[in-house]
Amino acid sequence: MIARARSKPTRQIRPRELEQFRQRIESWERPGREAGRDGDVELAAGYAEDMADLRAILRLIESGTLQEAAEAIDRLDTLVRNQIPTRLYESVVPGN
């Protein structure tokens, strides 16, 4: 049997993955708006902070500063981090 060399993981990010991330950010915004309408100011503020973090990460990825994006992703709560599509996450965060 011939041993195959492992290919290096690609860091190429597909436009479709970015669009999926944008859609997830938008869908994450809805519960925050609902919390605000229901008068839950603390929950609405939490969602607003999460939204700001996710949008900042999207901008970092789009600008190609993947190391900074990976560090920002590492600081997210798991529930928020799970809003990042898996393939995009794997392209940005090394060692997955």
**Per-residue pLDDT, 61:** 95
The conformation of residue 11, written as its DSSP 8-state character, comes to -
Burial of 94 (0-12, 13-18, 19+ CB in 10 A): exposed
**Per-residue pLDDT, 96:** 63
* pTM of the predicted protein model: 0.83
**Per-residue pLDDT, 11:** 58
**Per-residue pLDDT, 12:** 83
If DSSP codes are grouped into helix, strand and coil, which group holds residue 24?
helix
Contact 28, 83 (CB under 8 A): yes
User: How many other C-beta atoms can be found within 10 angstroms of the C-beta atom of residue 84?
Assistant: 24
Rounded CA-CA distance 80/56 in Å is 13
Contact 81, 23 (CB under 8 A): no
Rounded CA-CA distance 6/18 in Å is 26
pLDDT digits (tens, 9 = 90+) for 12-69: 899 999 999 999 999 988 999 999 999 999 999 999 999 999 999 999 999 999 999 9
**Per-residue pLDDT, 95:** 78
